[in-house]
Amino acid sequence: MAKQSSLIVDRTILPVPIVTGQDAIWQIIRLLDKKGPWSISDIDGETRVAVVATIAEYVRRLVAGGFVEAVGERAAKIGAPALYRIKKHSADAPRLRRDGSVAPPSGQAQMWRAMRALRQFTYAELAYKASTDDLSIANVTAKTYVQRLADAGYLQMVAPANNAGGLAIWRLRRSMNTGPLAPQVLRTRFIFDPNRKAVVGESTVAENEEAIR
């Protein structure tokens, strides 16, 4: 059964149960940590849908990366939940591999950064501009991200595609340049904007499409 979220971020209630994205989990951890030690079940209690394994995996990576440390148990008995505290504070969610090493920015983060820097672009130009030595962005990936953001109202078409092979030209709407964090395409195909901490589109149960390997 879905649980109602009581998560409050920057004095606003998070309007959708984002439960698997590291950004949302980290914000929950930061809020819980202000009150003292917390457990994985405490994080789960702040979401509408329980995805405990995903939460536990991210906490494990945070421990391995030195961002979080175990500080004991809630009760002195076998099976009591482990308690944690933040060891290394960060406003942004640490993006970590399984061994705790820092992972490169996601493809969506790289494309969003490129969009904010470019005056206008095609999806092919965006893929080229957003690619790095660590992560190459495929044209089809850029095309999908552009279409999702266009559908959500982030992008304005400057010129349509044409029969001569010319690609559609886009630009980021000034009013939708919401901040440095990339709007995240969700599996429901809605957009989660971590700058506004809101879903752009109809609110629904959603998961972050990009998993950290």
Domain ranges of the chain: 1-103+184-213, 107-181
What percent of the chain has pLDDT above 70?
75
When pLDDT is cut at 50, 70 and 90, the band that residue 201 belongs to is low
Place of tokens 């980290």: 26
CATH of 1-103+184-213, one of 1.10.287, 1.20.1180, 1.10.3470, 1.10.10: 1.10.10
Residue 108, burial from CB neighbour count under 10 angstroms (0-12, 13-18, 19+)? buried
Distance from C-alpha of 177 to C-alpha of 97, rounded to nearest angstrom:
29
Give mean pLDDT, residues 42-46: 85
Give CB contacts under 8 A, 24+ apart, made by 138-144: 141/107, 142/111, 144/185
Question: Does the pLDDT value for residue 186 go beyond 70?
Answer: no
* Structure-token pair, residue 7: 């998560």
* Nearest one of 208, 211, 212, 213 to 187, comparing CA atoms: 208
Terminal Cα distance for the chain, rounded: 29
More confident residue, 72 or 176: 176
* Residues 133-143 pLDDT 10s: 888 999 999 99
Fold match, 1-103+184-213 / 107-181? yes
Give the CATH number of domain 107-181.
1.10.10.10
* Residues 148-161 pLDDT 10s: 999 989 999 999 99
Question: Does the pLDDT value for residue 67 go beyond 60?
Answer: yes
Sign of CA dihedral 90, 185, 57, 84: positive
When pLDDT is cut at 50, 70 and 90, the band that residue 50 belongs to is very low
When pLDDT is cut at 50, 70 and 90, the band that residue 212 belongs to is very low
Among 6-15, 68-77, 90-99, 184-193, which stretch is predicted with the lowest mean pLDDT? 6-15
* Structure-token pair, residue 162: 């044409």
Question: Does the pLDDT value for residue 62 go beyond 90?
Answer: yes
Give mean pLDDT, residues 193-207: 61
Predicted local distance difference test score (pLDDT) of residue 104: 85
